[in-house]
Amino acid sequence: MAILEKYPQLHTKVTSMIEGVKLESYREEILRPADNRAGCTGMPSDPAFYEIYGENLVSAGKYHEVIRYREHMMPLADALWHHIG
């Protein structure tokens, strides 16, 4: 705990986190399976922020093409998921 004195931002956060809790409670870490693709499938109903921003940059002549969710991001995500199995 003495090391936290060197990091005031963390000191407050850690102190409030462990206040009233026995440190023994933090000795065991439990890992459970999670659905890593939750929220990653399907098309968002609105254009992503980066698409709108990209459209402005293309209009200004800074770039030739907008990075699109459907055309660029989903194929990349799918390729990564298939690669890792």
What is the pTM assigned to this prediction?
0.49
pLDDT for the residue 25: 81
- Alpha-carbon gap, residue 17 to 22, rounded angstroms: 11
- Alpha-carbon gap, residue 22 to 25, rounded angstroms: 6
Domain ranges of the chain: 2-25+41-84
- Whether the predicted pLDDT of 19 surpasses 70: yes
Residue 70 has which token pair? 């459907």
Q: ∠ CA(70), CA(77), CA(68), 5° rounding?
A: 25
pLDDT for the residue 14: 83
pLDDT for the residue 43: 65
pLDDT in tens, 47-82: 889 999 999 999 999 999 999 988 998 899 889 988
